[in-house]
């Protein structure tokens, strides 16, 4: 394809102004390339855009993609996996965009790549470190998919990338993936990379607690108006899973309460919780976030940050009538109390304190479960 038209010529061809054309370029609505530092356009691209033929082609290809991903849906293997007949991929751009991500997730892909080539945009999944081709699609369709993700995403404060949370439900609960969207204009065309990370599951307390009395204890703690709940264990012991099960219970049982969390990072988005993403090593950002949360009149505050500043602010909030949940690494419940007291440089007194320490063990059928030790 010959990219010979200048910016002025392209604007005249489309019957618009230079400034409007610039806006369309920034929004990804107009295909163009930078050659020698200047934007250049192909007349065929502009004609398709002007005549609307690109939209027709894209709609047809989206329908083909919907059928393609419908056919690739996993077959039922158990009660927590939906059958193909229970899942439907409609030809709408948002539905196809989501189906593409879930297809990659089902195949344990870490990244999705859109790479422009002479015959179209090559769609590939990175699986176990290797790029595996999926299919070739048109540039207009690739752009429509990108715009779908970007329009539904939020700007990550860490990477300045669009961050999209997608969720789906199964018998076990709601699972999520977090997608970072990175677009780049190259001389070959628009290049796009989606990085996928697992968000996890928000299980009911009855699911994560193999002993009924443990679930009842958590429920009693979470019914209190104020206090400090420490969710502790070694790295990888499932503390975050327990935290989100607690938050799920709070959302379901304390509908009139304002619930906030300060997380490093936010990997799972939960309706009913006002979540703030901060970096643990950025004390200024955490201090600002915590102050803003407290000025928002919360009933419950949760944090996955376990710095001295976070511990100090969490204890202060518990002392002033708030229910506070905090995750931290520790080898035992007693060590967690000692570690927290070391972080705040004072003994824990004058406020209700509850500690749940957990470790993972194998269960029936190979299922891993958490075993809890409590201190209150």
Compute the half-sphere exposure of residue 298: CA atoms within 13 Å on the CB side of its CA: 28
Rounded to whole angstroms, the Cα distance separating 196 from 157 reads: 17
DSSP result, 272-287: T-EEEE--TT-HHHHH
What's the CATH architecture for 54-200? Answer: 2-Layer Sandwich (3.30)
| pLDDT 10s digits, 195-254 | 998 766 678 898 888 899 999 999 999 999 999 999 999 988 889 889 999 999 999 999
Residue 301 has pLDDT above 70, yes or no: yes
The residue with tokens 């369709």 is 141
Rounded to whole angstroms, the Cα distance separating 283 from 301 reads: 18
More reliable by pLDDT, 226 or 24: 226
For the chain, the domains span: 1-51, 54-200, 203-375
> Domain 203-375 belongs to what topology?
Rossmann fold (3.40.50)
Enumerate the H helices of 117-231 as residue ranges: 139-152, 205-208, 212-222
| pLDDT 10s digits, 275-287 | 998 987 889 999 9
Enumerate the H helices of 226-332 as residue ranges: 239-253, 283-295, 308-319
Q: Calculate the alpha carbon distances from 234 to 291, 320, 368 in Å.
A: 29, 30, 15
Helix, strand or coil, per DSSP, at residue 295:
helix
Q: How many of the other CB atoms lie within 10 Å of CB of 33?
A: 19
> Domain 1-51 belongs to what topology?
Multidrug-efflux Transporter Regulator; Chain: A; Domain 2 (1.10.1660)
**In 3D, which of 152, 157, 201 has the Cα closest to residue 179?**
152
| Mean pLDDT, residues 173-178 taken together | 77
Decide if 269 contacts 201 (C-beta within 8 A).
Answer: no
Helix, strand or coil, per DSSP, at residue 367:
coil
Residue 334 has pLDDT above 90, yes or no: yes
* pTM confidence score: 0.66
What is the edge-to-edge ordering of all strands in the sheet holding 38-42? Answer: 3-5, 38-42, 33-35
User: Phi first, then psi: what are they for 155, rounded to 5°?
Assistant: -80, 120
């Amino acid at each position: 394809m010959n990219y010979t038209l200048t910016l002025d010529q392209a604007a005249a061809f489309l019957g618009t102004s230079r400034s409007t054309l610039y806006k369309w370029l920034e929004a990804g609505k107009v295909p163009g390339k930078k050659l020698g530092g200047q934007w250049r356009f192909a007349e065929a691209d502009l004609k398709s855009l002007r005549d609307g033929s690109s939209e027709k082609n894209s709609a047809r290809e989206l329908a083909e993609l919907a059928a393609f991903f419908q056919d690739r849906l996993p077959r039922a293997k158990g009660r927590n996996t939906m059958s193909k007949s229970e899942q439907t991929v409609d030809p709408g751009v948002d539905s196809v965009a989501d189906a593409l991500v879930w297809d990659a997730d089902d195949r344990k892909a870490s990244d999705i790549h859109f790479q422009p080539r002479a015959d179209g945009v090559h769609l590939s999944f990175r699986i176990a470190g290797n790029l595996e081709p999926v299919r070739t699609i048109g540039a207009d369709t690739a752009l429509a998919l990108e715009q779908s993700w970007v329009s539904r995403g939020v700007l990550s404060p860490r990477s300045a990338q669009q961050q999209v949370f997608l969720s789906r439900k199964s018998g076990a609960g709601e699972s999520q993936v977090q997608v970072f969207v990175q677009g780049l204009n190259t001389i070959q065309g628009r290049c796009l990379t989606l990085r996928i990370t697992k968000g996890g599951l928000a299980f009911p307390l009855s699911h994560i607690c193999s002993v009924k009395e443990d679930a009842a204890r958590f429920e009693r703690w979470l019914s209190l108006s104020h206090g400090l709940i420490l969710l502790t264990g070694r790295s990888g012991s499932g503390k975050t899973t327990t935290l989100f099960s607690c938050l799920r219970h709070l959302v379901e049982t304390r509908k009139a309460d304002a619930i906030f969390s300060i997380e490093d990072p936010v990997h799972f988005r939960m309706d009913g919780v006002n979540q703030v993403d901060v970096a643990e090593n950025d004390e200024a950002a955490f201090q600002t976030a915590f102050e803003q949360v407290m000025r928002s009149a919360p009933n419950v505050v949760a944090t996955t940050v376990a710095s001295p500043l976070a511990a100090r602010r969490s204890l202060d909030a518990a002392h002033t009538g708030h229910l506070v949940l905090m995750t931290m690494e520790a080898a035992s419940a007693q060590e967690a109390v000692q570690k927290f007291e070391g972080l705040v440089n004072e003994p824990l007194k004058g406020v209700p304190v509850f500690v749940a320490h957990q470790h993972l063990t194998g269960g029936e059928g190979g299922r891993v479960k958490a075993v809890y030790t409590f201190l209150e």
